[in-house]
């Protein structure tokens, strides 16, 4: 590893320890960050080549308004599993080669033509507006939360309240800017009183998230809190048991990639329970993500 990169990693770790409140090294010794233009360009390892499906699929640059044809229902093993298995991903393989503009266009199209006027579940009744998600359409790192809260519902943007401020710090501490990553939620409308989304709501809305993932194809997804992790990973195991370990999200397969998932605590939980132990756990989860992304 070259010296510049070592310095950057060290700097990031100290900064993050500090931001997460678990720092033991004074900030004053931090080496200055190199200017963006001085940074080595090849920090990211090349993405894995994925096998091309033997039968080429039709181009999918336009998202149709037609709901995708349902796949035949598999024997239901769990409600969560049936969510992903019933959603057909439109040509996830082709999406890998799209430009950032093309990906952004697909996302915008889904947002304006479908999500912003969606009435597929009862959460539409009390919303001020939908919260689609935002960030880089080619992000290598995606965060998935549970659903909009009050501030998000008012502003139409994800994670803009207090939890969002902490998420911003987490992103910054990892060496990213908010606009480098993509941030979305499992449901796009605010559940009343910020309750956990119900399974019927997740089933109605989950297809949008899955399509966002299929378009962006991030390398790593960090799920925030129990419900997001349980949905993405098709498990009912609690967050305290599944956080901190790598999992895979395989719903885009076989056409698309398998995506690495790191579940961690929700920043709102961290704010409520701001213990040294919890902050240390979240930071260690984020460190694993930094390593995985080769930052």
Q: Binds 39, which of ligand SF4, ligand URA, none (CB < 5 to 8 A, cut-off by type)? A: none
Query: Which of these segments, 95-103, 115-123, 148-156, 229-237, binds ligand URA (CB under 6 A)?
Result: 148-156
Q: Binds 137, which of ligand URA, ligand SF4, none (CB < 5 to 8 A, cut-off by type)? A: none
Strands 259-264 and 141-145: unpaired
* Tokens representing residue 14 in the block: 């100290």
- Provide, rounded to whole angstroms, the least separation between the CB of residue 158 and ligand URA: 4
Contact between 201 and ligand URA by CB under 6 A: the answer reads no
Query: Which of these segments, 64-72, 91-99, 181-189, 276-284, binds ligand SF4 (CB under 6 A)?
Result: 181-189
Q: Is 11 exposed, middle or buried (0-12, 13-18, 19+ CB in 10 A)?
A: middle
What stretch of H or E contains 104? helix 100-113
Of 239-268, binders to ligand URA (CB under 6 A) are: 268
Candidate list 185, 203, 223, 264; residue touching ligand URA; CB under 6 A:
185
Candidate list 159, 208, 249, 265; residue touching ligand URA; CB under 6 A:
159
Beta carbons of 134 and 118 less than 8 angstroms apart = no
Candidate list 9, 124, 154, 199; residue touching ligand SF4; CB under 6 A:
124
CA–CA distance, 1 with 3 (Å, rounded to integer)? 7
CA–CA distance, 202 with 200 (Å, rounded to integer)? 5
Contact between 120 and ligand SF4 by CB under 6 A: the answer reads yes
| Number of residues located near ligand URA, criterion CB under 6 A | 12
Residues with Cβ within 8 Å of residue 233, at least 6 apart in sequence: 223, 242, 247, 249, 261, 263
Query: What would the 3-class secondary structure string for 206-243 be?
Result: HHHHHHHHHHHCCCEEEEECHHHHHHHHCCCCCHHHHC
CA–CA distance, 104 with 99 (Å, rounded to integer)? 8
Query: Which of these segments, 21-29, 58-66, 156-164, 238-246, binds ligand URA (CB under 6 A)?
Result: 156-164
Which CB, 88 or 284, lies closer to ligand SF4?
Answer: 88
Q: Which residues bind ligand URA (CB under 6 A)?
A: 145-149, 152, 158-159, 163-164, 185, 268
Note the residues at the interface with ligand SF4 (CB under 6 A).
115, 118-121, 123-124, 130, 187-189, 201, 204-205
């Amino acid at each position: 590893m070259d010296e510049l990169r070592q310095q950057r990693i060290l700097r990031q770790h100290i900064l993050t320890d500090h931001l997460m409140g678990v720092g033991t090294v004074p900030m004053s010794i931090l080496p200055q960050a190199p200017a963006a233009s001085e940074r080595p360009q090849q920090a990211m390892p090349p993405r894995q080549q994925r096998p091309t499906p033997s039968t080429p699929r039709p181009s999918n640059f336009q998202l149709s308004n037609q709901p995708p044809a349902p796949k035949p229902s598999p024997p239901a093993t769990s409600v969560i599993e049936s969510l992903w298995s019933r959603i057909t991903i439109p040509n996830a393989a082709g999406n890998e080669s799209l430009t950032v503009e093309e990906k952004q266009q697909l996302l915008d199209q889904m947002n304006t033509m479908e999500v912003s006027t969606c009435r597929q579940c009862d959460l539409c009744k009390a919303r001020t507006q939908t919260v689609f998600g935002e960030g880089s359409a080619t992000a290598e790192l995606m965060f998935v939360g549970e659903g909009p809260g009050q501030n998000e519902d008012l502003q139409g943007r994800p994670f803009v309240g207090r939890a969002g401020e902490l998420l911003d710090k987490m992103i910054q501490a990892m060496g990213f800017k908010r606009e480098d990553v993509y941030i979305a939620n499992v449901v796009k409308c605010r559940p009343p009183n910020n309750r956990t989304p119900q399974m019927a709501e997740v089933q109605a809305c989950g297809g949008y998230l899955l399509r966002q993932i299929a378009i962006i194809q991030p390398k790593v997804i960090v799920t925030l809190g129990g419900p997001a992790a349980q949905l993405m990973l098709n498990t009912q195991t609690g967050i305290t048991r599944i956080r901190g370990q790598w999992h895979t999200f395989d719903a885009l397969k076989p056409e698309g990639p398998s995506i690495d998932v790191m579940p961690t605590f929700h920043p709102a939980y961290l704010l409520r329970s701001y213990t040294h132990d919890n902050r240390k756990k979240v930071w260690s989860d984020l460190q694993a993500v930094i390593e995985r992304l080769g930052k």
